[in-house]
Chains A and B, each alone.
Chain A
Amino acid sequence: GNSVTQMEGPVTLSEEAFLTINCTYTATGYPSLFWYVQYPGEGLQLLLKATKADDKGSNKGFEATYRKETTSFHLEKGSVQVSDSAVYFCAGGTSYGKLTFGQGTILTVHP
């Protein structure tokens, strides 16, 4: 079946550091890929998406590129802020709109 694997966390960075959170997927075909974010005390929000190979999703300074050759969708941000502290989930869209989630990565950014 389909699966999504995220890098182990938690991740702790200083403000303005570069962020990478790795995500790889296993699927039949080429699913749409998503990054969701869950800020402390809030619900799950869609951060960005890519629907086909080589697509780049971007939002709030975050980017991720759908790499078919490496089956990856790594999340990056050039300069993180304290307000980016949250849990980040990679997800793959399966048949009939279902989502398969990675295990989540806790990001903490210190001033």
Chain B
Amino acid sequence: SAVISQKPSRDICQRGTSLTIQCQVDSQVTMMFWYRQQPGQSLTLIATANQGSEATYESGFVIDKFPISRPNLTFSTLTVSNMSPEDSSIYLCSVELAAAPDEQYFGPGTRLTVT
């Protein structure tokens, strides 16, 4: 496995502002992903974070709202832009490790509340 850290662990933000979430992994990574878990619901994939290029977004998610960076193999950021209360969720990064292909490991999540 690997140690996956996310910052911040939680935040309370005002509507109209933006928050950037960081994800850092201590092992060699092949793939990185960002998911959203809305209150009481399952996980939904937001996008695949591609190293050195634009992220690949899933249907219903756009770059203007959720810009993602991945400057190197083990670090990525997700920004939630122009927030509204509907963005209140847990945001999780996940990784596929070079040492364990076909398995995904999740970070602890960032709990975001938008007021």
Task: Write the residues of chain A forming the contact surface with B, with a CB cutoff of 8 angstroms.
Answer: 32, 34, 36, 42-46, 49, 51, 89, 93, 96-104
Contact = CB atoms under 8 A, between A and B. Distances in A.
B104 A97 contact: yes
Interface residues of B, number: 21
A107 B79 CA distance: 33
B43 A101 contact: yes
Given A43-B108, A102-B42, A103-B42, A96 B48 contact: yes
Contacts of A51: 102
Interface of B: 30-31, 33, 41-45, 48, 58, 92, 94, 96, 102-109
Given A44-B109, A96-B31, A98-B45, 8 more contacts: A43-B92, A43-B106, A43-B109, A45-B106, A46-B103, A46-B104, A49-B103, A97-B102
Given A51-B102, A97-B96, A103 B107 contact: no
B106 A93 contact: no
